[in-house]
Structure 1
Amino acid sequence: MYEDVCYKKPNLAEVVVRVDFVSPISALEKNIPERLAKDLSTDFPIAEPSDVIGRELQIRPDGLTTKETHAKQWNFFGKERDKQLTLTTTAVFVSYKKYTKYEDMKREFSSTVEAIARVYPNVQTRRFGLRYVNRIERGSGYNPLDWSDIIVSTLLGVKDFFEAPEQLIRLFHIAELNTGDINILFQFGLPNPDYPALIKRPVFILDMDSYVQIAHDIYESLQYMDQAHEQIQKLFEASITDKLREQMNA
């Protein structure tokens, strides 16, 4: 239904696609194979590995102890640093600050998955996730509590419950949906960047985080990615009005 929808100016603060592995890839704790690094650098040419320190609380007969672990985090960035690929022993994810279109992200993530699978053919995934964070901001001349022209009224209805909505310092909602294999965590409302002060700045969030928590082959994550994107797009389109669509295509 929304296959051809692609807005010129989406209100996206961040888009993240991620897979978590069933078992850690221990070989990545200190080194990354040259072949894998080269393949990942095709779309993310700036490589900047970093050291990660973890602390694990252990319970022993003589009391509690803390075990410290050290590992590498393999970071790759786009030329403009508006996208980042991160590979660790337990997960891989790509984060976009500047989003173009779904097909571009799908191609880059597919290349990432294929590169990992070529080097580690037995890798399995325990979780897949795709998240779109829409941050809609308006100028100071707008009423920070009135979004009825661009967000559907059914999503805003709870505001009318309060006798003095101008006293609100935050109005944020959480809903979770089960659509079969895919769940969606939907967070929306007025986060108030100035909390705990009164809401003064017009900011509205539509945060849609879809995920699959079923063990599967890493290649299957690409199929789940299409399904998750379809569910998110459907939910987003149901949340907004034609006026916002016009603004994003202006």
Structure 2
Amino acid sequence: MIVGVREREIYPSAPIVLMAIEVRHPPCEPLDRKQVAEVSARIKQMLPLPSEMNEVSVTVQAGPDGPPTQQQVVSSFPRWTSRDKRTALSVRSDSFVIETTDYGSYDKVRELLDVVLQTRLTVAAPVGVERIGLRYIDEIRVPAENGGSAPDWGQWVDASLLGPAHVGAELGLAPEVNEGVFVFSGGSDHALVLRYGAQSDYAVQSTPELRRALPPPGPLFKLDIDSFWQAADEVPEFDVDFILRQADALHEPVRGVFESVITDRLREEVLRNG
């Protein structure tokens, strides 16, 4: 796509704190109780804990003779999680999302995606697929140097991600937070969005619904990569092989982008030996 992909290396201290796959489709009827039970039976080896989540949406309506009024609508959807609450599946009427804070490898998540797709197709097949997205959020944390609280991020990530830090240096100001976004196009139906920046504490919190291991709070550099396909001219059928092929194609540039914006020092001192 935009960069060459290195030979795939599984880093012992990979910084991925959240990976998600979303598949959107034309709206269909919510799963009924019998269908929810069938989904539970089909995915129980991977996600044995069923639950129901509530979602609140707010709409604003302009009154004919008065000020606008707000209306809250509460909808519910089924959700399944692993026993450690670190991997979850949510099924809405127009999409499903797999989330994990225990990534391991793409192959592991792809296996779960395959099972979920086969299940969705069997239990209640959508009429098509409109969007497929893969999202990776990394929290890059590095050892403190010289007793300082703010790392010299230029030693760990590509200088292009640091913005006009030199402007502050010339004025005697130290950069503390920066945030940027870049959108890459892979054609009419494929794009990759890179959001990045230095911040403190956590880019992804631990919640009762989706837990994660939390290191001590401190400075981090966030990389948030969203690689997605979106139907352009027509909506294809909800086909398992098609969706898996698209997911594979979307995954391919993610590693290339990550490798291109980190330094050899980060690879050696943190990712391999951290």
- Indicate whether the TM-score tops 0.5: yes
The answer on whether the counterparts of 2:181 and 2:195 sit within 8 Å (CA) in structure 1 is yes
Counterparts of 2:265 and 2:174 in 1: how far apart (Å)?
28
1:67-122 superposed Cα distances (whole Å, 9 cap, x missing partner): 65443311111121111111111211011112100100011011111110112234
Instruction: Name whichever structure is richer in strand by fraction.
Output: 1
For structure 2, list consecutive stretches of 5 or more residues without a partner in the other structure: 203-216
Per the alignment, residue 244 of structure 2 pairs with 222
Counterparts of 2:58 and 2:33 in 1: how far apart (Å)?
17
Per the alignment, residue 40 of structure 2 pairs with 37
The answer on whether the counterparts of 1:139 and 1:202 sit within 8 Å (CA) in structure 2 is no
1:205 aligns with 2:208: no
* 1:74-93 correspondence runs (5 A): 74-93=78-97
Which residue of 102, 118, 123 maps to 2:122? Answer: 118
165-174 vs 9-18, greater mean Cα deviation: 165-174
237-246 vs 119-128, greater mean Cα deviation: 119-128
* 1:173-184 correspondence runs (5 A): 173-180=180-187, 181-184=189-192
| C-alpha deviation, 1:186, in angstroms | 0.5
87-96 vs 122-131, greater mean Cα deviation: 122-131
Q: Cα–Cα, structure 1 residues 248 and 12, in superposed 2: closer, same or farther, change >3 Å?
A: same
Per the alignment, residue 132 of structure 1 pairs with 136
The answer on whether the counterparts of 1:142 and 1:202 sit within 8 Å (CA) in structure 2 is no
Which residue of 148, 153, 159 maps to 1:147? Answer: 153
The sequence identity of aligned pairs, in percent, is 20
Counterparts of 1:39 and 1:206 in 2: how far apart (Å)?
34
Q: Cα–Cα, structure 1 residues 191 and 202, in superposed 2: closer, same or farther, change >3 Å?
A: closer
TM normalised by structure 1 equals 0.85
TM normalised by structure 2 equals 0.78
1:27 aligns with 2:30: yes
The aligned amino acid for 2:166 is D
Q: Cα–Cα, structure 1 residues 89 and 29, in superposed 2: closer, same or farther, change >3 Å?
A: farther
Per the alignment, residue 185 of structure 1 pairs with 193
The aligned amino acid for 1:82 is R
Q: Cα–Cα, structure 1 residues 228 and 188, in superposed 2: closer, same or farther, change >3 Å?
A: same
The aligned amino acid for 1:188 is Y
For structure 1, list consecutive stretches of 5 or more residues without a partner in the other structure: 195-199
The answer on whether the counterparts of 1:18 and 1:93 sit within 8 Å (CA) in structure 2 is yes
Indicate the RMSD between aligned Cα atoms, in angstroms.
2.7
